[in-house]
Structure 1
């Protein structure tokens, strides 16, 4: 069972990493509207906060950095990566739906 402790430091690290991932994503795939920006940002924030730990562990193991990184660094990088992926995924799906959804009408 997963330990969902109330460690405020790790939760803050998750939120910071998720926010950083969402902010960096703005540079790469600009939103077309404020609504798109807000929905993608909050989706990135939620995904980064929820999946930051497992994503960080997966990345650290793949890059053989488990022994070199602290728990905070693993969570921070994992949250940023999960948020970045959520941003990209939602942004790309939004563009595809906008492009092909208009043709069906």
Structure 2
């Protein structure tokens, strides 16, 4: 198994992007309680940390921005996008399930 050592700047971008995505998500959909907030916060952070770099690279390739953006900027934007999407999607699915479950 290959060990991949993360650059400190890249890891900081992953964390900052994940936190920024969760923070932006608060604007769109507030959690109803502590448990929902904790679940969505953890999901957004983990999703941003894990899938952020790949998502950022995919987006930069599709928008033809690879030559323009640095690696930390690509990772930051990808982590924020994934974190925002995960938070929103989990909240939306929970509310839809609550409505259909009645």
Normalising by structure 1, we get a TM-score of 0.90
Alignment of 1:1-105 (within 5 A): 4-101=4-101, 103=102
TM superposition shift of 1:6: 3.1
CA gap 1:3/1:80 in 2 versus in 1, 3 angstroms: farther
Task: Tell me, in whole angstroms, the C-alpha distance in 1 between the residues paired with 2:80 and 2:2.
Answer: 21
Task: Tell me, in whole angstroms, the C-alpha distance in 2 between the residues paired with 1:2 and 1:11.
Answer: 18
TM superposition shift of 1:2: 7.8
CA RMSD, aligned part only?
A: 1.5
Any unmatched runs of 5+ in structure 1? Answer: none
TM superposition shift of 1:34: 1.4
TM superposition shift of 1:100: 1.1
TM superposition shift of 1:5: 1.4
Any unmatched runs of 5+ in structure 2? Answer: none
CA gap 1:62/1:50 in 2 versus in 1, 3 angstroms: same
